[in-house]
């Protein structure tokens, strides 16, 4: 109900954790419907939304569903009826909503979901890790990963505009790390509500497919099989891929406009850190990046020509941006907070390997895996990653991934 | 369109008391001479009684033989009317009627026939045995016939399936301000949602997942309510998606009181995909996953009682219905539609499956009727205020064998299995009766 006046005057800044920051982003984005089911480490996000709704700070249709499967299903019905929608989940919750989750991008529903990342079972684990998000990296959702609490708030807002852009029309996961970002507290600035209203515009979710008696249509009839069906199916799939590719430019434009309006700039696809004259670099994703930048600074002080590439947008994969970044270095190490079991490596590492095929010359690459199950990734771990990458540049390339927390005590 | 009303006669209930003839004579002549009655109860050849009475036929023989156009079918009331000013007393009509429904009256020297007393027949009111019933269901068909049919012609259901009848009439009653959810199963299989860009429905319709019908509809309904639009959220779902894999979302939506009209069309299994068992498949039934072999003979567990489970969710309205009793079904449909504007309304309609249950395609309604008459299916409804009440008599139920013998999926049952089914039906009925007594007590208290 974007036309309604904001119920309450919002503060200019708050001190809060990443989960509450996401909830403030939701307040400012004014979705018509929020559906939630609590799950660690997302729970305090849900509680914050419930309190905001109870206080009248958030004017939305709140659905306290009986599980994540229904959470996403309720929102899909709402989205098809024209609602701007939001939810958040983690790990097992994501697994449980997998069936409707698979369906949202194919219906081209511009839904926004925070994914408070968590390692998957088993071993039984409630702590942070990217395994949940990485397990769904190729089912057609946009995925962006935040580095800081402020970036969570800002990215939740931007996510609605990216998802609802008519060249995109895809659901988006705004990922923030369980524990380190979900519960890490700092000061965040809130953009002004009227400015966000102008930035987002009115909800625009079902112009292409709707459940609306004023525009009756059959939504998602059987498609495929014989006759023209297979070709129609192929065109839907191809259109989905095109929407993903379109998202790259829309993400860039949206970040630029957000920076112009509100004065805070975040790297949209990749961030290059001290890469200009670097000989080698490490690739990071999510909240680990802060410690990694410290390690790069230390290495620079020690005379090493080290740099860093941070992945913000992971799906669609920013291939051209990664090609340009990697073209500057002679060796790369990739630090993943999750595992690709089929490759005995990290998933981001796989993407980097794919990118290397686009480069004129082959450079050595190393897979690092760390930060699983809430393990801390310290500047010390990154110093080791940088050192190992430097050795790879010198010719000693590990043939298996390096498990950074394997011998932590 | 003409209305087709008639007076139905249940010979098994008739005692031959003659009260109906007295009432008719009184109504038409002021006297009690049975000879003047236009309804005649006569001794039957094999004991009992039979009826001589105008049936108000749709294609009346009397009308077609009348040379004076003195008899005609009234298009509005459905009554076959006799015009004494045109009649030439040739009596051809008495020969043209096979029911002895129009007869020569010696006292007046003219013919006489039933005119349904203007829509409130005296004979029916006089019958204390329930042997005469004024059947007006055709009026309902006419009323529904005037409403827009919101499905395209030619849905591709199996021959003899009652579901097309069901979904057409449900949607006519609900009207165009509706969003229809048809989860995977027979109903979309008929073409309601469509195929490769074409759809079979004139209102918004979609495939939910098999698992999330109630959740998706909740999102639709709430969004429109927030926008100030009254859009009916209608589920036309099978028993499998409702009772099994979709049960969580159903239960959650009912608990939250989501404003949904949920129609479960229960054909006791996954019939669309080749007759696999569901939680609603009854004990003993053959399905492709509860086959009959040396070691097992059909399903070994009882069916889940889904409508009672919905009662336990305190839904705004819950009812069971059958296409063999359409007046009852229409009444419940109207109540369910009304209830779905303020809470969760659940309508459980039994749908015998000609393909999957192994019976001839012309026997669908007969099978449905036998299910009710033997107590295999009990018709009732429930509201939180009035509790549970039976909407069909449950006192003179026939043995379940009669129903089981009509359905091929029970062909293999042995005597012990049949006895088991009969015993279980009685237990289930006992529970329903207890709930109905509680309901009646609650109602009495409320009235007091």
pLDDT tens figures, A120-136: 999 999 999 999 999 99
Is residue B324 in some structural domain?
yes
What residues have CB less than 8 Å from B194, skipping those under 6 apart? A218, A221, A222, B200, B201, B205
Dihedrals phi, psi of A353, to nearest 5 degrees:
-55, -45
Locate the chain B residue with the closest alpha carbon to A69: B212
The pair of three-digit structure tokens given for residue A66, joined into one six-digit string = 């009986």
Query: Where does chain A hold its CATH 3.40.50.970 domain(s)?
Result: 13-210+239-262
Q: Which of B215, B229, B259 is best to mutate for the A interface (most A CBs within 10 A)?
A: B215
DSSP state of A372: G
Please identify, among B71, B102, B135, the residue that sits at the C-terminal boundary of a domain: B135
Residue A221 to residue B198, Cβ atoms within 8 A: yes
DSSP for B104-151 reads EETTTTEEEE--GGGGS-HHHHH-SSS-EEEE-HHHHHHHHHHS---B
Q: How many other CB atoms are there within 10 angstroms of residue B105's CB atom?
A: 15
> What is the per-residue pLDDT for B81?
94
Residue A66 to residue B200, Cβ atoms within 8 A: no
Tell whether B285 and B411 lie within a shared domain: yes
Count of CB contacts below 8 A, A vs B?
Answer: 158
Tell whether B387 and B266 lie within a shared domain: yes
How large a percentage of chain A has pLDDT more than 70? 98
B215 vs A1, A70, A224: nearest CB: A70
> What is the per-residue pLDDT for B74?
86
> What is the per-residue pLDDT for A4?
47
Tell whether B126 and B194 lie within a shared domain: no
A216: preceding bond cis by omega (within 30 degrees):
no
Q: What is the CATH number of the domain that holds B73?
A: 3.30.70.20
Give chain A positions within 8 Å (CB) of B219: 33, 35, 63, 73-81, 83
The pair of three-digit structure tokens given for residue A187, joined into one six-digit string = 């000061």
| B261-266 vs B232-238, strand pairing mode | parallel
| CATH classification code of A13-210+239-262 | 3.40.50.970
How large a percentage of chain A has pLDDT more than 90? 96
Is A270-403 in CATH node 3.40.50.920? Answer: yes
> What is the per-residue pLDDT for A7?
52
Residue A77 to residue B195, Cβ atoms within 8 A: no
Tell whether B297 and B425 lie within a shared domain: yes
Does residue A281 contact residue A306 with C-beta atoms inside 8 Å? yes
Does residue A29 contact residue A38 with C-beta atoms inside 8 Å? no
> What is the per-residue pLDDT for A245?
98
Closest C-alpha among B394, B395, B413, B393 to residue B404 = B413
Alpha-carbon gap: B281 to the closest alpha carbon of chain A (Å) = 26
Please identify, among B87, B113, B135, the residue that sits at the C-terminal boundary of a domain: B135
| B71-73 vs B49-52, strand pairing mode | unpaired
The pair of three-digit structure tokens given for residue B169, joined into one six-digit string = 């009439």
Closest C-alpha among B271, B277, B259 to residue B187 = B271
> What is the per-residue pLDDT for B3?
57
Strands (E), B279-368: 317-322, 345-350
Please identify, among B135, B159, B182, the residue that sits at the C-terminal boundary of a domain: B135
pLDDT-derived band at A2, boundaries 50, 70, 90: very low
Tell whether B32 and B154 lie within a shared domain: no
Give chain B positions within 8 Å (CB) of A102: none
| A172-177 vs B387-390, strand pairing mode | unpaired
Alpha-carbon gap: B271 to the closest alpha carbon of chain A (Å) = 18
Is residue B272 in some structural domain?
yes
B18-34 residues labelled b (16+ CB within 10 A) or e (exposed)? bbbbbbbbbbbbeeeee
Interface of B with A (CB under 8 A): 176-179, 188, 193-209, 211-212, 214-224, 226-227, 231, 248-249, 251-253, 255-256
List, for residues A359-409, the tens digit of each pLDDT value.
999 999 999 999 999 999 999 999 999 999 999 999 999 999 999 999 998
List, for residues B375-390, the tens digit of each pLDDT value.
999 999 999 999 999 9
Cα separation, A99 vs A186, in Å, equals 36
The pair of three-digit structure tokens given for residue A234, joined into one six-digit string = 């192929």
Is residue B143 in some structural domain?
no
Residue B219 to residue A219, Cβ atoms within 8 A: no
| Burial of A21 (C-beta count, 10 Å sphere; 0-12/13-18/19+) | buried
Cα separation, B299 vs B277, in Å, equals 8
The pair of three-digit structure tokens given for residue B37, joined into one six-digit string = 């009655």
Sign of the torsion formed by the C-alpha atoms of B390, B392, B398 and B403: negative
What residues have CB less than 8 Å from A58, skipping those under 6 apart? A23, A26, A27, A30, A34, A49, A52
Is residue B48 in some structural domain?
yes
Tell whether B385 and B248 lie within a shared domain: yes
What Å distances lie between residue A30 and A24, A173, B74, B125, CA to CA?
Answer: 10, 17, 62, 64
Length of chain A in terms of residues written: 409
A372: preceding bond cis by omega (within 30 degrees):
no
Does residue B82 contact residue B71 with C-beta atoms inside 8 Å? yes
The secondary structure element, H or E, covering residue A172 is strand A172-177
List, for residues A160-214, the tens digit of each pLDDT value.
999 999 999 999 999 999 999 999 999 999 999 999 999 999 999 999 999 999 9
Alpha-carbon gap: A192 to the closest alpha carbon of chain B (Å) = 25
| Burial of A201 (C-beta count, 10 Å sphere; 0-12/13-18/19+) | exposed
pLDDT by 10s per residue, chain B, length 448: 345 688 989 888 899 999 999 999 999 999 999 999 999 999 988 788 999 999 998 889 999 999 999 999 987 778 999 999 999 999 999 999 999 999 998 888 999 999 999 889 999 999 998 899 888 767 777 778 889 999 988 888 999 999 998 999 999 999 999 999 999 999 998 889 888 878 889 999 999 999 999 999 999 999 999 999 999 999 999 999 999 999 999 999 999 999 999 999 999 999 999 999 999 999 999 999 999 999 999 999 999 999 999 999 999 999 999 999 988 999 999 999 999 999 999 999 999 999 999 999 999 999 999 999 999 999 999 999 999 999 998 988 999 999 999 999 999 999 999 999 999 999 999 999 999 987 777 767 777 7
User: Could you give the angle at the alpha carbon of B105 between the alpha carbons of B100 and B110, nearest 5°?
Assistant: 105
Tell whether B264 and B204 lie within a shared domain: yes
> What is the per-residue pLDDT for A1?
40
Tell whether B320 and B357 lie within a shared domain: yes
Query: Where does chain A hold its CATH 3.40.50.920 domain(s)?
Result: 270-403
| B205-206 vs B178-181, strand pairing mode | parallel
A140-162 residues labelled b (16+ CB within 10 A) or e (exposed)? bbbbbbbbbbbbbbbbbbbbbbb
User: Could you give the angle at the alpha carbon of A141 between the alpha carbons of A25 and A208, nearest 5°?
Assistant: 90
Closest C-alpha among A63, A124, A121 to residue A95 = A121
Tell whether B187 and B304 lie within a shared domain: yes
How many domains does one find in chain B?
Answer: 2
Is residue B1 in some structural domain?
no
Interface of A with B (CB under 8 A): 1, 32-33, 35, 61, 63-67, 69-70, 73-83, 99-100, 103, 210-213, 215-225, 227-229, 232
Give chain A positions within 8 Å (CB) of B152: none
What Å distances lie between residue A286 and A103, A334, B268, CA to CA?
Answer: 26, 13, 51
Cα separation, B239 vs B215, in Å, equals 16
Cα separation, B167 vs B150, in Å, equals 9
Cα separation, B151 vs A405, in Å, equals 62
Is residue B142 in some structural domain?
no
Cα separation, A59 vs A63, in Å, equals 13
B204 vs A70, A213, A229: nearest CB: A213
Tell whether B70 and B187 lie within a shared domain: no
Alpha-carbon gap: A382 to the closest alpha carbon of chain B (Å) = 45
Q: What residue numbers bound the domain in which B123 lies? A: 6-135
What is the ipTM score, two decimals?
Answer: 0.94
First to last CA, chain B: 45
Cα separation, B187 vs B213, in Å, equals 13
Q: What is the CATH number of the domain that holds B189?
A: 3.40.50.970
| A61-64 vs B6-9, strand pairing mode | unpaired
Residue A221 to residue B199, Cβ atoms within 8 A: yes
Tell whether B196 and B121 lie within a shared domain: no
> What is the per-residue pLDDT for B327?
86
Residue B252 to residue A70, Cβ atoms within 8 A: yes
Helix (H, G, I), strand (E, B) or coil at A56: coil
Dihedrals phi, psi of B360, to nearest 5 degrees:
-65, 150
Alpha-carbon gap: A64 to the closest alpha carbon of chain B (Å) = 9
Sign of the torsion formed by the C-alpha atoms of B376, B382, B386 and B392: negative
Does residue B340 contact residue B260 with C-beta atoms inside 8 Å? yes
Tell whether B40 and B167 lie within a shared domain: no
Give chain A positions within 8 Å (CB) of B252: 65-67, 70
> What is the per-residue pLDDT for A226?
80
Does residue A116 contact residue A145 with C-beta atoms inside 8 Å? no
Question: Average pLDDT for residues A273-281, to the nearest whole number?
Answer: 97
Question: Average pLDDT for residues A239-244, to the nearest whole number?
Answer: 98
B32: preceding bond cis by omega (within 30 degrees):
no
B218 vs A63, A82, A223: nearest CB: A63
B219 vs A77, A212, A216: nearest CB: A77
Locate the chain A residue with the closest alpha carbon to B191: A221
Is residue B140 in some structural domain?
no
Residue A70 to residue B201, Cβ atoms within 8 A: no
The secondary structure element, H or E, covering residue B255 is helix B247-255
A213 vs B177, B227, B248: nearest CB: B177
Question: Average pLDDT for residues A315-343, to the nearest whole number?
Answer: 98
């Amino acid at each position: 109900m974007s036309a309604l006046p904001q119920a309450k005057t919002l503060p200019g800044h708050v001190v809060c954790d990443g989960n509450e920051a996401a909830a403030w982003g939701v307040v400012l984005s004014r979705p018509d419907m929020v559906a939630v089911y609590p799950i660690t480490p997302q729970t305090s996000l849900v509680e914050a939304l419930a309190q905001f709704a109870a206080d009248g700070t958030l004017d939305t249709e709140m659905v306290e569903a009986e599980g994540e499967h229904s959470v996403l299903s309720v929102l899909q019905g709402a989205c098809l009826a024209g609602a701007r929608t939001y939810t958040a989940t983690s790990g097992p919750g994501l697994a449980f909503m997998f069936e409707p989750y698979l369906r949202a991008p194919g219906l081209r529903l511009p839904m926004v979901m925070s994914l408070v990342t968590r390692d998957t079972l088993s071993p039984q684990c409630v702590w942070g890790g990217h395994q949940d998000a990485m397990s769904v990296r190729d089912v057609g959702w946009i995925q962006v990963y935040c580095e800081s609490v402020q970036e969570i708030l800002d990215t939740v807002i931007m996510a609605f505009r990216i998802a609802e852009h008519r060249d995109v029309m895809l659901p988006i996961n705004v990922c923030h790390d369980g524990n380190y970002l979900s519960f890490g507290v700092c000061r965040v600035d809130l953009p002004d509500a009227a400015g966000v209203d102008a930035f987002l515009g009115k909800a625009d979710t079902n112009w292409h497919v709707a459940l609306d008696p004023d525009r009756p249509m059959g939504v998602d009839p059987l498609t495929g099989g014989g006759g023209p069906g297979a070709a129609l199916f192929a065109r839907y799939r191809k259109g989905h891929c095109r929407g993903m590719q379109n998202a790259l430019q829309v993400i860039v434009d949206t970040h630029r406009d957000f920076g112009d309006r509100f004065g805070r700039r975040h790297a949209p696809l990749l961030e290059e850190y001290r890469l200009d004259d670097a000989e080698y670099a490490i690739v990071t994703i999510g909240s680990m990046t802060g410690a990694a930048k410290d390690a790069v600074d230390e290495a620079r002080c020690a005379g090493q020509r080290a740099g860093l590439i941070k992945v913000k947008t992971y799906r669609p994969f920013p291939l051209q941006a990664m090609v340009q970044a990697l073209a500057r270095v002679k060796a790369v190490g990739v630090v993943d907070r999750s595992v690709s079991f089929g490759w005995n490596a990290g998933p981001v590492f796989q993407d980097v390997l794919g990118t290397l095929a686009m480069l004129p010359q082959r450079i050595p690459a190393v897979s690092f895996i760390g930060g699983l199950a809430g393990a801390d990734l310290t500047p010390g771990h990154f110093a080791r990653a940088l050192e190992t990458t430097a050795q790879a540049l010198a010719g000693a390339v590990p043939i298996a991934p390096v498990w950074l927390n394997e011998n932590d005590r | 369109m003409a209305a087709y009303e008639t007076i139905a006669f249940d010979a098994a209930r008739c005692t031959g008391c003659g009260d109906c003839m007295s009432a008719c004579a009184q109504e038409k002549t002021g006297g009690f001479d049975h000879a003047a009655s236009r309804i005649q109860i006569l001794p039957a050849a094999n004991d009992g009684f039979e009826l001589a009475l105008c049936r108000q036929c749709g294609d009346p023989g009397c009308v077609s033989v009348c040379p004076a156009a003195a008899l005609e079918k009234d298009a509005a009331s459905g009554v076959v009317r006799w015009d004494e000013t045109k009649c030439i007393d040739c009596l051809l009509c008495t020969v043209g009627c096979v029911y002895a429904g129009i007869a020569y009256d010696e006292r007046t020297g003219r013919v006489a026939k039933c005119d349904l007393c203007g829509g409130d027949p005296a004979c029916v009111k006089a019958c204390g045995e329930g042997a005469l019933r004024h059947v007006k269901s055709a009026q309902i068909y006419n009323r529904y016939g005037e409403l827009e049919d919101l499905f395209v012609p030619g849905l591709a259901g199996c021959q003899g399936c009652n579901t097309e009848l069901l979904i057409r009439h449900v949607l006519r009653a609900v009207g165009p301000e509706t969003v229809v959810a048809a989860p995977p199963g027979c109903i979309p299989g008929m073409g309601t949602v469509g195929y490769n860009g074409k759809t079979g429905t004139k209102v918004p319709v979609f495939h939910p997942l098999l698992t999330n019908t109630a959740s998706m509809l909740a999102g639709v309904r709430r969004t429109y309510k927030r926008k100030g639009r009254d859009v009916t959220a209608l589920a036309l779902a099978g028993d499998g998606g409702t009772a099994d894999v979709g049960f969580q979302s159903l239960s959650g939506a009912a608990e939250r009181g989501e404003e949904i009209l949920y129609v479960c069309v229960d054909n006791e299994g996954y019939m669309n995909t080749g007759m696999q068992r569901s939680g609603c498949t009854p004990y003993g039934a053959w399905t492709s996953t509860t086959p009959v072999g040396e070691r097992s003979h059909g399903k070994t567990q009882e069916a889940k009682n889904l409508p009672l489970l919905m009662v336990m969710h305190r839904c705004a309205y819950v009812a069971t219905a059958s296409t063999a009793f359409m007046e009852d079904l229409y009444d419940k449909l109207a109540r369910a539609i009304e209830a779905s504007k303020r809470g969760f309304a659940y309508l459980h309609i039994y749908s015998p499956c000609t393909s999957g249950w192994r019976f001839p395609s012309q026997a669908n309604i007969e099978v449905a009727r036998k299910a009710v008459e033997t107590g295999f299916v009990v018709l009732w409804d429930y509201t939180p205020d009035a509790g549970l009440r039976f909407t069909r008599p449950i006192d003179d139920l026939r043995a379940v064998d009669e129903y089981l013998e009509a359905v091929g999926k029970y062909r293999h049952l042995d005597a012990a299995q049949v006895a088991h089914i009969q015993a279980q039906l009685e237990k289930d009925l006992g529970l329903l009766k207890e709930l109905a007594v509680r309901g009646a007590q609650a109602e009495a208290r409320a009235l007091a």
